[in-house]
Structure 1
């Protein structure tokens, strides 16, 4: 598959990453003055419970236990209804749960040109979930805004406003695939977080999204970097990575999120061993998160360790949580790894398993048909490949799958 991206989609992808980082890295520090204190002892007890729920909820999110996380975060809003933290965490949990259900928590998805294709048919989304998400974001912005009216230099309130905007940018881009507002919200989010650092340089967790943004600007193609400079945006890969590493080492609550971002950056820079080390650390800490294990298996293939990668994917398919929830995703990602490694027969087998599993995500099935056609074409059997492309056209469009299937029907896919 073609991994090269146009400057426009590359820019969008990186800004989406910044918004994701911004949302995930919200430090959720608890200010005692943010609770209406009827008595010192009550305030202290509430603060301790608030922080305990946040930590427990965050662990549940990382272990893909979204229902448990939601219960923890809802309790936070009951304890401190005037604090934006609970609403931001609820929105983040809802967003990640939605992405996981739609098989969009895979890093490889956002490096593909197809994801950013704009088609005449709009992206379908659950209107009820979208409204719930919007309501939570608006509540977080409103609550933090109230705090800022009282104190314009309230670093925590500023950070949560930035986190809310970053979350909305991520949701718009990854769920709705509406990129224009996403870019604007992501930029506004970064500006707010820079204000946080000016007010409180010790707010280490805030460097997560700022560091990522610095990396992003410097990682753009030369022409786009010039445009960014004219717009007053300066970047540095070195400084960005250093700031993310600072958060991993000294961050209060965002060290895991910074580590996730470093995995993506190390992969992009070809530092697969470092990426694998970070994946291993997170997988050990969150053993029930099979997504981390999927990324680790894919990374092993990128390192040329095909036997280890195959064993890692195979072990995943023997896990009960995977057999219940994610057989399609594991097989699809395994197929992608084999495809990239040039094992077309092996990749086809995995794509066929995606189609065969009764509970497979509909979008993944469509993409599996498309990629099956491509690997069959590369094996020299266009007639058989055409059957796969026809199957794509008989299903709902996913990104630009209809356009590509139509092209490959007319002219056999040649690997570019």
Structure 2
């Protein structure tokens, strides 16, 4: 690739892998899909998944996998649930984390669990190998092609989001897109495959003209319009990837500042899954980004109140809501309340090290806006104590010397 390849890699990976909240929407028998997707056991497992009961989902998918030895999709179910459990543990399922390219270009310290990493890699390899065994007997086995592409895409998610290993992630992603392209060539009604292909089409179509011309020489073409059409088809009809497709569309619409459309999708999801903490959080995040500050404050506060109701949320990561609330309060110049929200976010038992640094840094900046540099320095020092060689650490060092200003 040319010297422009890093830009293409960052942009493509941002869109392909930094978008998921959940996946799986079991639809009526109007499209083609692997029959396993429609079984009661799979429905029950995903019902736990939607509650963010990842342990319960993993256990149920393991039972399905045991009952279907050699089935690459059954193995990919387990991979999917374990991957999302780890992403949630690391606070990587809040899309505000990916609202700018700093995620891709900055220094990040994610506390990777080697055991989980090895489990995810082993599951991905197993699913791919199981699919290859089926494809050896029939190269046009659509279900095996889809399962292999899905496993590859999940492997790429881990590589990109946790390890920030973008080169291998991109190669894995392109393999996933190739598999799903072939699925759609063989069966245009296999709408689950339209999600990955639609994202690919949109991203290539959204590249600046110079980069689009560059990749065009390599035979890589795309269309934003075609990409959105494919994503809409997946959102409307797919059995396995409907919700991921809607999440991708929300991310693209947010980056294009088309907030009303993105908000409607978020509200539809939160209505469909009223006890899914992440969907409610996404609705509040979009209100914040749309400039509806007071409305967003109310939404974040409602989430925090709901979390106090026994059994309303299964496993809420309240630090995500506190961070969004603090950010919105600060935008409304409500600095005292904003600092309290940021500090509350830093103190939750589920807060990941990276989000803790973000909360502490934001609290310090807020104290500086209140002209209390003494208290701000306390928070900046706390950032350094939790990771000096990070994006937040670099900023904290800067603000220790010169108070933060938003002007």
Q: Same fold (TM over 0.5)?
A: yes
> Which residue in 2 is equivalent to 1:295?
282
Structure 2 alignment gaps of length 5 or more: 27-31
Please state how far the C-alpha of 1:144 moved relative to its aligned partner. 0.1
Residues 1:30 and 2:18 are matched in the alignment: no
Please state how far the C-alpha of 1:222 moved relative to its aligned partner. 3.6
> Which residue in 2 is equivalent to 1:100?
88
> Which residue in 2 is equivalent to 1:12?
10
Match of 1:79 among 57, 60, 67: 67
Please state how far the C-alpha of 1:125 moved relative to its aligned partner. 0.9
1:290-329 maps to which residues of 2 (within 5 A)?
290-319=277-306, 320=308, 325-329=316-320
Please state how far the C-alpha of 1:64 moved relative to its aligned partner. 0.8
In the alignment, is the contact (CA less than 8 A) between 1:369 and 1:392 conserved in 2?
Answer: yes
Match of 2:156 among 166, 169, 177: 169
| CA spacing shift, 1:324–1:235, aligned 2, 3 Å | closer
- The SS at the match of 1:152 is coil
Worse-matched range after superposition: 288-297 or 351-360? 351-360
| CA spacing shift, 1:324–1:207, aligned 2, 3 Å | closer
| CA spacing shift, 1:222–1:199, aligned 2, 3 Å | same
Residues 1:395 and 2:386 are matched in the alignment: yes
> Which residue in 1 is equivalent to 2:325?
334
Structure 1 alignment gaps of length 5 or more: 1-5, 32-46
CA distance in 2, matches of 1:74, 1:407: 49
CA distance in 1, matches of 2:357, 2:265: 32
CA distance in 1, matches of 2:331, 2:206: 24
CA distance in 1, matches of 2:78, 2:71: 13
Deviation per CA, 1:102-146: give whole Å up to 9, x if none.
Answer: 111000112244422454x86431111111111111110110000
Deviation per CA, 1:137-193: give whole Å up to 9, x if none.
Answer: 111011000001001111221111111111111001112222221111111211221
TM-score (norm 1): 0.85
1:28-67 maps to which residues of 2 (within 5 A)?
29-30=33-34, 51-67=39-55
Please state how far the C-alpha of 1:247 moved relative to its aligned partner. 1.8
Please state how far the C-alpha of 1:96 moved relative to its aligned partner. 0.7
CA distance in 2, matches of 1:323, 1:350: 22
In the alignment, is the contact (CA less than 8 A) between 1:328 and 1:360 conserved in 2?
Answer: yes
Deviation per CA, 1:58-95: give whole Å up to 9, x if none.
Answer: 23222211122112211221221111111111111111
> Which residue in 2 is equivalent to 1:385?
376
TM-score (norm 2): 0.87
CA distance in 1, matches of 2:106, 2:295: 38
1:129-144 maps to which residues of 2 (within 5 A)?
129-144=116-131
Please state how far the C-alpha of 1:305 moved relative to its aligned partner. 2.9
